[in-house]
Amino acid sequence: MTAQLHDIKDKIPNPATVAALERLLEQARQGEVRTIAYILGYDDDAFTHGWVIDARSSPRRLLGQSALLNFDLLTDVAIRDGDTRFAGAVRGE
Protein backbone atom coordinates (compact mmCIF):
# COMPACT_ATOMS: atom_id res chain seq x y z
CA MET A 1 0.00 0.00 0.00
CA THR A 2 1.32 3.44 -0.93
CA ALA A 3 1.01 6.17 1.67
CA GLN A 4 -0.83 9.32 0.67
CA LEU A 5 0.86 12.68 1.10
CA HIS A 6 -1.14 15.49 2.68
CA ASP A 7 -0.29 19.17 3.04
CA ILE A 8 -0.44 19.50 6.82
CA LYS A 9 -0.01 23.29 6.61
CA ASP A 10 -3.32 23.67 4.76
CA LYS A 11 -5.44 25.94 7.02
CA ILE A 12 -8.81 24.98 5.53
CA PRO A 13 -11.10 23.87 8.39
CA ASN A 14 -12.34 20.30 8.42
CA PRO A 15 -16.14 20.64 8.03
CA ALA A 16 -16.79 17.37 9.90
CA THR A 17 -14.71 18.57 12.87
CA VAL A 18 -16.50 21.93 12.97
CA ALA A 19 -19.93 20.27 12.76
CA ALA A 20 -19.10 17.78 15.53
CA LEU A 21 -17.79 20.54 17.82
CA GLU A 22 -20.84 22.73 17.19
CA ARG A 23 -23.19 19.82 17.92
CA LEU A 24 -21.33 18.96 21.14
CA LEU A 25 -21.21 22.61 22.23
CA GLU A 26 -24.97 22.94 21.78
CA GLN A 27 -25.52 19.74 23.79
CA ALA A 28 -23.21 21.05 26.53
CA ARG A 29 -25.07 24.37 26.64
CA GLN A 30 -28.33 22.47 27.09
CA GLY A 31 -26.83 20.44 29.94
CA GLU A 32 -26.93 17.16 28.03
CA VAL A 33 -23.13 16.78 27.73
CA ARG A 34 -21.46 17.11 31.12
CA THR A 35 -18.18 15.25 30.72
CA ILE A 36 -15.75 15.17 27.82
CA ALA A 37 -12.43 13.50 27.08
CA TYR A 38 -10.75 14.67 23.92
CA ILE A 39 -7.78 14.29 21.62
CA LEU A 40 -6.91 17.32 19.52
CA GLY A 41 -4.91 17.21 16.29
CA TYR A 42 -3.43 20.56 15.28
CA ASP A 43 -2.46 22.05 11.93
CA ASP A 44 1.21 21.12 12.48
CA ASP A 45 0.29 17.44 13.10
CA ALA A 46 0.88 17.83 16.85
CA PHE A 47 -1.58 16.09 19.15
CA THR A 48 -2.68 16.67 22.72
CA HIS A 49 -5.46 15.40 24.95
CA GLY A 50 -7.46 16.40 27.97
CA TRP A 51 -10.71 15.99 29.80
CA VAL A 52 -13.34 17.71 31.89
CA ILE A 53 -15.17 15.41 34.29
CA ASP A 54 -18.41 16.50 35.88
CA ALA A 55 -18.89 15.31 39.48
CA ARG A 56 -22.16 13.64 38.44
CA SER A 57 -20.45 11.42 35.86
CA SER A 58 -19.33 7.86 36.52
CA PRO A 59 -15.52 7.57 36.29
CA ARG A 60 -15.78 3.83 35.62
CA ARG A 61 -18.06 4.35 32.64
CA LEU A 62 -15.68 7.03 31.36
CA LEU A 63 -12.75 4.60 31.60
CA GLY A 64 -14.76 1.94 29.79
CA GLN A 65 -15.57 4.31 26.96
CA SER A 66 -11.92 5.36 26.82
CA ALA A 67 -10.91 1.72 26.31
CA LEU A 68 -13.51 1.33 23.55
CA LEU A 69 -12.28 4.50 21.86
CA ASN A 70 -8.72 3.21 21.94
CA PHE A 71 -9.79 -0.12 20.43
CA ASP A 72 -11.88 1.56 17.72
CA LEU A 73 -9.01 3.90 16.76
CA LEU A 74 -6.50 1.05 16.65
CA THR A 75 -8.84 -1.02 14.49
CA ASP A 76 -9.59 1.88 12.14
CA VAL A 77 -5.90 2.71 11.64
CA ALA A 78 -4.94 -0.95 11.25
CA ILE A 79 -7.58 -1.49 8.57
CA ARG A 80 -6.97 1.81 6.79
CA ASP A 81 -3.16 1.76 6.88
CA GLY A 82 -2.31 -1.86 7.65
CA ASP A 83 -0.62 -4.21 5.24
CA THR A 84 -2.06 -7.47 6.56
CA ARG A 85 -4.25 -9.72 4.42
CA PHE A 86 -7.16 -9.05 6.77
CA ALA A 87 -6.83 -5.29 6.39
CA GLY A 88 -6.63 -5.63 2.61
CA ALA A 89 -9.69 -7.86 2.55
CA VAL A 90 -11.70 -5.38 4.62
CA ARG A 91 -10.65 -2.61 2.22
CA GLY A 92 -11.78 -4.81 -0.70
CA GLU A 93 -8.32 -5.35 -2.14
Instruction: Find residue 48's DSSP bridge partners.
Output: 40
**pLDDT the model gives residue 2:** 57
**pLDDT the model gives residue 8:** 65
**pLDDT the model gives residue 3:** 62
> How does 22-45 read in b/e, with b if 16+ C-beta sit within 10 Å?
eeeeeeeeeeeeebeeeeeeeeee
Q: How confident is the model at residue 93 (pLDDT cuts 50, 70, 90)?
A: confident
- Residue-wise pLDDT tens digits, 59-92: 899 999 999 999 888 888 888 887 777 777 777 8
- Residue-wise pLDDT tens digits, 6-16: 776 778 899 99
- Residue-wise pLDDT tens digits, 22-61: 999 999 999 999 999 999 999 888 999 999 999 999 989 9
